Amino acid sequence: MNEIQRAKVVLKILNKIYPKIKVPLQSRNVFTLLISVLLSAQCTDVNVNNVTKNIYPKYFKPEHFIKLGRKKIETLIKKIGIFRIKAKSIYNLSKILDNDYKGKVPKTFEELEKLPGVGHKTASVVMSQGFGFPAFPVDTHIHRLAQRWGLTNGKNVNQTEKDLKRLFPKKNWNKLHLQIIYYGREYCQARSCYGITCKICTTCYPKRKKPLKTRKA
């Protein structure tokens, strides 16, 4: 089975298990989506949602976070990892959005990636989930799964993103990256499947007997 055949297997299984998919991070608008994605670095979506459910009803615009100030933002998000660094990024990007973009989130990768605390993955999620632009956000989990399923050589997340975009139709990207995340959490966990027990792994590699070591991002 070559990589194109494996990609077809992955798409078929994921569409069967997840015909419809929900965005895991809760948000009120594109700005709060941006904040939630920024907060999710080194943190679970569940934890982010638990924290932001008490924030977004009242604070959901850049001007709101500017008025709060860094210290108050720190207090609001202190249950999230590296909260001081994230609070600084939220405060600074809020000022930039308010001053340079009239409080709106820009709709290009280039502009998003210039914002404090916003890397390519975060920008990809916002472009995909916020604006519906075809994107394929690749985090460490998708990077690991793509290696297990023989869809990339695993050099780095940038290479993995290029490989996945090459193998899957653009119309599937936005839904597919979420399907992969959900499948990884439910069936192909790092410390239980090891590339030899879930349906995708056993279908793509029926003769694989030993746990597969994957390259870190």
Same structural domain for residues 157 and 100? Answer: no
At which of 130, 164, 180 does a domain end?
130
Residue 139 bears catalytic tag:
yes
- Residue 212 in domain: no
Same structural domain for residues 60 and 148? Answer: no
Q: Which of 114, 139, 209, 213 is catalytic?
A: 139
Q: Are 176 and 14 in contact (CB under 8 A)?
A: yes
- Residue 215 in domain: no
- Residue 217 in domain: no
Residue 155 bears catalytic tag:
no
Same structural domain for residues 67 and 108? Answer: yes
Secondary structure of the chain as H, E, C letters = CCHHHHHHHHHHHHHHHCCCCCCCCCCCCHHHHHHHHHHCCCCCHHHHHHHHCCCCCCCCCHHHHHHHCHHHHHHHCCCCCCHHHHHHHHHHHHHHHHHHCCCCCCCCHHHHCCCCCCCHHHHHHHHHHHCCCCCCCCCHHHHHHHHHCCCCCCCCHHHHHHHHHHHCCHHHHHHHHHHHHHHHHHCCCCCCCCCCCCHHHHHHCCCCCCCCCCCCC
Domain with 49, as residue range(s), is 30-130
What residues have CB less than 8 Å from 49, skipping those under 6 apart? Answer: 24, 25, 26, 36
Q: What is the pLDDT along the chain (217 residues), one digit of tens a residue?
A: 999 999 999 999 999 999 999 999 999 999 999 999 999 988 999 999 999 999 999 999 999 999 999 999 999 999 999 999 999 999 999 999 999 999 999 999 999 999 999 999 999 999 999 999 999 999 989 999 999 999 999 789 999 999 999 999 999 999 999 999 999 999 999 889 989 999 999 999 999 999 888 888 7
At which of 130, 159, 182 does a domain end?
130
Q: Supply the pLDDT for residue 110.
A: 97
Q: Supply the pLDDT for residue 212.
A: 87
Q: Which of 121, 162, 210, 213 is catalytic?
A: 121
Same structural domain for residues 50 and 126? Answer: yes
Same structural domain for residues 54 and 75? Answer: yes
Q: Supply the pLDDT for residue 142.
A: 95
Question: Residue 116 maps to which CATH number?
Answer: 1.10.340.30
Same structural domain for residues 189 and 121? Answer: no
Same structural domain for residues 120 and 39? Answer: yes
Number of folded domains in the chain?
2
Q: Supply the pLDDT for residue 214.
A: 84
Same structural domain for residues 122 and 145? Answer: no
If you ran DSSP here, which 8-state letter would residue 105 be given? P
Residue of 61, 50, 6 lying closest to 28 (CA atoms): 61
At which of 102, 130, 158 does a domain end?
130
Q: What pTM did the predictor assign?
A: 0.92
Q: Are 172 and 180 in contact (CB under 8 A)?
A: no
Same structural domain for residues 118 and 191? Answer: no
